[in-house]
């Protein structure tokens, strides 16, 4: 059972700039704006970036700390997935 509802609105998906913008809120989080960008860095390489604007009143420092841990963990998992896909023999994906 969730402690609160969290609403996510996808504000923009831009294929040209490879960017997704969301506007989110829920519980004590009044605003959570998330910008995801993917930049091509060459053949089989890219750079994935999360930018977050958090507004949660007095809880903002705690929500910020949670976001730091969450997105660092997610980045670690993305890297692990990329390595495993890279190391698969051709044709087995």
pLDDT tens readout for residues 24-70: 999 889 999 999 999 999 887 888 899 999 999 999 999 999 999 99
Average the pLDDT over 78-89 and give the result.
Answer: 87
pTM of the entire predicted model: 0.75
What does the alpha-carbon distance between residue 4 and residue 28 come to, in Å, rounded to a whole number? Answer: 9
Tokens, residue 38:
């993917």
Task: Give the per-residue pLDDT at 93.
Answer: 55
- How many residues are given for the chain? 93
Residue predicted with more confidence, 1 or 66: 66
Task: Give the per-residue pLDDT at 3.
Answer: 73
Q: Shortest CA distance to 57 belongs to which of 27, 30, 32?
A: 30
Cβ(35)–Cβ(48) below 8 Å: no
Residue predicted with more confidence, 1 or 69: 69
What does the alpha-carbon distance between residue 65 and residue 36 come to, in Å, rounded to a whole number? Answer: 19
Domain range summary for the chain, segments of one domain joined by +? 6-86
């Amino acid at each position: 059972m969730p402690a609160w509802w969290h609403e996510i609105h996808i504000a923009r998906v831009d294929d040209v700039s490879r960017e997704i913008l969301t506007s989110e809120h829920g519980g004590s989080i009044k605003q959570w704006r998330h910008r995801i960008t993917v930049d091509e860095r060459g053949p089989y390489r890219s750079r994935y970036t999360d930018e977050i604007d958090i507004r949660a009143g007095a809880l903002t420092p705690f929500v910020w700390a949670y976001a730091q841990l969450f997105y660092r963990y997610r980045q670690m998992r993305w890297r692990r997935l990329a390595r495993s896909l890279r190391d698969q023999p051709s044709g087995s994906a």
